[in-house]
Structure 1
Amino acid sequence: MQPDRLVIAPKTPSAQSNNVRLGVALMIATTVVFSVQDGISRYLAGEYNTLMVVMIRYWFFALFVMAVAARSAGGLRAAARTSQPLIQIIRGLLLAGEICVMIYGFTVLGLVQSHAVFTCYPLLVAALSGPILGEKVGWRRWSAIAVGFVGVLIILQPGYGVFDPSAVIPLLAAVMFAVYGLLTRYAGRRDRTATSFFWTGVTGAVFMTLIGLSSWEPMSGPDTIWMAALCVTGALGHWLLIRCYEVAEASAVQPFAYFQLVFAASIGLIVFGEVLTSNVVIGVAIIVAAGLFTLWRERQKR
């Protein structure tokens, strides 16, 4: 989430327990589940229209969101109450669009290269936090951002032969997810996490239904089972992530989200026969190092 993972503003230590060991275990479990979800998405989007696959996935996601909201304080009405509906709708549309772009990227580029490029999204969050949230970005973080994008260029190799435009698909998804994450932080200044979660699921489900119904096509029996597995892994991944941020501070567990790159790449290599090239390995190492430094600086500032 990774394409559709929640972005949850970290709570203060007084508002939550801080069991880092359990939090790390939950984060790693989350990355495993989301990697499996990405593998299933790659398969289904290769067999059926991407919009239909994402639409069905969002139907289940919306039901999950409403079930969570119904069990929270105040129920569905309280979860839906917001003073900034436009921001919440834009968030939901951005995430739904990002998921479509990323899954399409899986079918064009594969899991390995798509996730390798998408890994730069924390750097994009740091870069865009100034113009969107008004946060101050110091020279150290700007340096890390610049270094990280050197890693992206190493992966994309724009100077070798004819540049493949499809290589920017996961980069576009990363930009969309970064803006979604920053708008989630912005919305979190006035809305509860439950409210943002509710609007994310419902807005996305409505949007995907409007654009996806025309792409409907019948699914075979085995693929129906894979579709059900995709829906279940989505709900399970979100539940694990919510639990992760309930038991530990986000800044302590966020670096372990990079494990999703390892697990997703492993699925790409083993299941889909993708190839891990040296430029991808070098580029990812640079991006992850820059991202970890950025997370460390953010934690130091807090």
Structure 2
Amino acid sequence: MQPGLGIALKLVSVLLFIVMASLIKATSDHVPPGQAVFFRSLFALPVIVVWLALRGDLKTGFRVESRMAHAWRGLIGTSAMGCGFAALGLLPLPEVTAIGYAAPLLTVIFAALMLGERLRLFRLTAVGIGLAGVLVILWPRLSPGDLTDLALLGAGLALASAALRALAQIQIRRMVQTEETSAIVFYFSLSATGFSLLTLPFGWVVPALWESALLIAAGLIGGIAQIFLTSAYRFSDASVLAPFDYASMLFALAIGYFVFAEIPTGPMLGGAALIILAGVVIVWRERQIGLARGRARPGLTPHG
């Protein structure tokens, strides 16, 4: 184990995913979310194939034990990305990022319901605190005032994306019992490319040259980020790396302010702080009681 290298890889991947989301957001006024998912998935494929070839994993990367498992993982992950990309067009980048932190909290709940994992009182309390933080962020969107219905829709889409990412994590926990990591990574991008084409009838556009460049860059950067993220877990334990997910808030705040002129609100910052606290407490507690989450492959969640 080389925890320093693992942490460095994790931080780079977190930054790259925020940059990718920023590129998607920059095109969201004109390019539909489904079309953005297509570019994100298609142009990640060559990066992933080259990575598998360099690792000597092309053979295992193409091997499938359960086509249906990959299809479900692809459908759930594609839906998560689509909802997340749609939310980016309606809400500030830091707010979408903060609501997305609900995903690991919901994973704890779904794992108890669907995988029979024991939900201890300590973790349940932490999840409750985190979900209270989500409510703090969403509350201004639910209150009457000068906020638009589109903002409320964006909040709902961001929360739906978090829930779908949690479901994808549950699916991955099942798949790693029989499927190789390389195959899960490759076939997710492949299936997401195919599933995104189903949104063609809902109004794809001919993007401008600069939009095409941003979308292609988003796909390439997303593929590179996925590789950095997956590689990070080869050098350090999941429990060590998990708290560094929350560095994305710092990156999102900086990019949101300097690129999109987005000013974070008090409820957004307060709610994000509660969610981050809950997430860190859960990670610490699981490390203390020795709950192994390594086989869950946290680096395989469908980041949008």
Place the TM-score, normalised by the shorter chain, in its bin: 0.7 to 0.9
**Which residue pairs with 1:48 in the alignment?**
31
Distance of 1:89 and 1:98 partners within structure 2: 14
Unpaired runs of at least 5, structure 1: 1-17
Cα distance 1:132–1:68, how it changes in 2: closer, same or farther (>3 A)? Answer: farther
1:196 is matched with which residue: 184, 194, 203?
Answer: 184
Q: How does 1:22-171 map to 2 (within 5 A)?
A: 22-73=5-56, 75-76=58-59, 78-157=60-139, 160-161=143-144, 164=149, 165-166=152-153, 167-171=155-159
Q: 1:184 aligns with which of 160, 167, 172?
A: 172
Query: 2:47–2:224: 8 Å Cα contact kept in structure 1?
Result: no
Question: 1:259 Cα shift?
Answer: 0.6
Identity over the aligned pairs, expressed in percent?
A: 25
Using the size of structure 1 for normalisation, the TM-score is: 0.87
Give the secondary structure class of the aligned counterpart of 1:64. helix
* Cα-Cα RMSD: 2.0
Whether the aligned pair in 2 keeps the contact of 1:110 and 1:274 (CA below 8 Å) is yes
Q: State the partner residue of 2:301.
A: none
2:199 alignment partner, one of 192, 211, 222: 211
Number of positions where the alignment pairs a residue of Structure 1 with one of Structure 2:
284
Deviates more, 1:224-233 or 1:119-128: 224-233
Larger CA deviation: 176-185 vs 67-76? 67-76
Shift of 1:207: 1.0
Take 1:234 and 1:100, find their aligned partners in 2: how far apart are those partners?
14
SS of structure 2 residue aligned to 1:275:
coil
Question: In 2 relative to 1, CA 75–31 (structure 1 residues): closer, same or farther, beyond 3 Å?
Answer: closer
CA distance in structure 2 between the partners assigned to 1:94 and 1:49 by the alignment: 18
Residue equivalent to 1:267: 255
Residue 121 of structure 1: how far off its partner (Å): 1.2
Cα distance in 2 for partners of 1:148, 1:219 equals 39
Alpha-carbon separation, structure 2, partners of 1:191 and 1:52: 29
Cα distance between partner residues in 1 of 2:61 and 2:263: 45
Which AA in structure 2 matches 1:221? L
The aligned residue for residue 225 of structure 1 is 213
Letter in 1 for 2:264: L
Q: 1:82 to 1:231 in 2, by over 3 A?
A: closer
TM-score w.r.t. length of structure 2: 0.87
Kindly indicate whether the alpha-carbon contact (under 8 Å) linking 1:121 and 1:177 is maintained by their aligned counterparts in 2.
yes
SS at match of 2:261: coil
